[in-house]
Chains A and B, each alone.
Chain A
Amino acid sequence: MLDQFATPAPDEAVKLALRRIEESTARGEGSNVEGLAFNEVVVNMGPQHPSTHGVLRLVVTLDGELVKDVIPVIGYLHRCKEKLAEKRTYFQYIPIVDRTEYVAGMNCEWGYVMTVEKLAGIRPTRRAEFIRVIMAELNRIASHQVAVGTFTADLAPLGTAMVFYMFRDREYILDLLEEVSGARMMFNYFRFGGLRYDLPDGWVEKCRDLMKRLPKLIDEYESLVQDNAIFLQRCVGKGVITQQDVIDYGITGPCARASGVAHDLRRTRPYSVYPELEFEVCTENHGDIFDRYQVRMDEMRESVKIVEQALDMLPQGPVQLGSLRAPYVITPPPGECYTGQENPRGEFGTYIVSDGSRYPYRLKFRDPCFCNLQLFPKLLSGNKIADAVAISGSIDLVLGGIDR
């Protein structure tokens, strides 16, 4: 009979952690903590843990209170997305893309649709391009609100105050997205050559109205945390990502920009109508937790600017290519294509190999969180376990993307 209270046998990750302890003992390494004898313990954090925002599991080796080694274990949310692509037509696969990085569904859909369009040589209509920009930027703001909100909740001093402010305002954005697409998270809104629906009547005014209010709301968020001494103590100078880390591990998104690397695909590998829009690539110089928070706040303001510009420039016309009224059967010519899309968390890339049939021969997602998570062992080692929670919050992981 199954004994549910029995200690489970250590799996590969735990065995690896124990093996590394043995190795370091054999090398004669003692404790780093003053006044402590050799004192290492393996702690399993997750996959169900309130501070990891998803089913991330970290096997942490602690030396006293210091983190000595971290082994991230992922795959708890693996839904075989790349396998599913083999038996779905290009069109059928669109709703599945929403579910990769579910906090930024619009951006993910765009990344996928853009790749297929490039492969098949389709150019979306101009009105569709502008609406795509609006949707992606609205979703970016909503995504950063989740990121910063939950991150500040991890830092005990603020409790859950910030989360409620941010989630309150995120609702306004989700309402807008819902009015357009019919869904709040799993949009299924992008189509090859355009979009599923045009904007409903009165939507533009509602969106303008919200864009007028948002900057004030963002100021409000900042006033909540920016001068809080405990917040600053926990953020400034902790969890520094160097520029060498950015190069070595392919760190992208706010995590890279907080380290002074102005890498933003909207500028460095411009797509859609971004070259026509004016906005700053927000960077900071220290690469610590606070800078990552600051970059996200600044990016929300920039996104507001982009949405306002796109609303002003929004041309009339169809949102779907007339020649592709029923774009259900798309057969790109044989070949392969990779495009990256600037997701709120970094470069969300789609690599597709086509054999000329209705199904993608091979589809691979390059997920920003997957790459950023790889830095964890290096980033967390040497910090206190309490800071490890703050650092992992500031990286902003979405497990749906990591596990695919």
Chain B
Amino acid sequence: MGLEIGTNPLDMDTIAARLAADFAAELTDVRVQEPDTVVARCDGAALKDVARRLKAHPEIGYETLNFVAGVDKVGHLESVYHVYSWKTNTYLELHVEVPQATAEVDTVCDVWPAADWHERESWDLVGIRYLGHPDLRRILLKDDFVGHPLRKDYVDSAENHPHA
């Protein structure tokens, strides 16, 4: 008994069309990135609901979270979710815009358990606060580090490293 991969092979355009139709209100800018990734944007407020439905989608079903990457786009932040569908053996790259002022977005930990550490890393390095995360501590840097180094406006100074 193995977890089957690619039991429901669909071509990329079909998947992109299905997603655009099923998530017409939430997903925008749905496009295919060759060879096997669908890229889409999603509003932060709808993220959790979308994540839940993406995971439970009967034909595609993005069940595994591959990673979360925080990106500072100067002006706004972006939280990028890369998820994998076992059924179709394809990927979805979900871009969520996060306003720079609040830098807050809902956590998806309760949907994809793997998000836990990836969100912590994104908080640590890029400073995106994931609301509702059970344990949003720094992960790679020290507990008392000041600032988020992957922000483009981050300036390093001795005060940021109290223990160095």
Digitize B1-28: 1 where CB-to-A-CB distance is under 8 Å, 0 elsewhere.
1110110000000000000000000000
Task: Evaluate contact between A260 and B3: CB separation under 8 angstroms.
Answer: yes
Residues on B with C-beta less than 8 A from A248 are: 64, 112-114
Task: Evaluate contact between A351 and B80: CB separation under 8 angstroms.
Answer: yes
Residues on B with C-beta less than 8 A from A285 are: 1-2
Task: Evaluate contact between A362 and B71: CB separation under 8 angstroms.
Answer: yes
The CA of A283 and the CA of B4, in the complex, are separated in Å by 12
User: Taking the complex as formed, is B139 at the interface, i.e. its CB lies under 8 A from any CB of chain A?
Assistant: yes
Task: Evaluate contact between B5 and A268: CB separation under 8 angstroms.
Answer: yes
Interface size on A, residues (CB 8 A): 42
The CA of A349 and the CA of B114, in the complex, are separated in Å by 16
Interface size on B, residues (CB 8 A): 39
Residues on A with C-beta less than 8 A from B65 are: 250
User: Taking the complex as formed, is B36 at the interface, i.e. its CB lies under 8 A from any CB of chain A?
Assistant: yes
Report the number of A-B residue pairs with Cβ-Cβ less than 8 Å. 96
Within 8 A of B (CB), among A315-368: 336-338, 340, 347, 349, 351, 353, 361-362, 364, 366
Within 8 A of B (CB), among A360-386: 361-362, 364, 366, 370-371, 373-374
Please tell me which one of the listed residues B2, B93, B114, B125 contacts residue A374 in the complex, with CB atoms under 8 A apart.
B114
User: Taking the complex as formed, is A80 at the interface, i.e. its CB lies under 8 A from any CB of chain B?
Assistant: yes
User: Taking the complex as formed, is A246 at the interface, i.e. its CB lies under 8 A from any CB of chain B?
Assistant: yes
Query: When A80-B149, A250-B66, A261-B3 are in contact, do A12 and B137 touch as well, CB less than 8 Å?
Result: yes
The CA of A42 and the CA of B91, in the complex, are separated in Å by 41
Please tell me which one of the listed residues A11, A83, A366 contacts residue B149 in the complex, with CB atoms under 8 A apart.
A83
Residues on A with C-beta less than 8 A from B5 are: 261-263, 268
> In the complex, what residue of chain B is closest to A402 when comparing beta carbons?
B140
Of the candidates B2, B3, B116, B125, the one having the most CB atoms from chain A within 10 angstroms of its own CB is B3
Residues on B with C-beta less than 8 A from A268 are: 5-6, 89
CB pairs A–B below 8 angstroms (8 shown):
A74-B139, A75-B139, A247-B63, A247-B64, A268-B89, A269-B89, A364-B69, A374-B116
Binding site for A on B (CB under 8 A): 1-3, 5-6, 33, 36-37, 63-67, 69, 71-72, 80, 82, 84, 86, 89, 91, 93, 112-114, 116-117, 125, 135, 137-143, 149-150
Known contacts A75-B142, A261-B2, A337-B33, then 5 further A-B pairs from the complex at CB < 8 Å, ordered by chain A residue? A246-B3, A250-B65, A269-B89, A353-B71, A371-B67
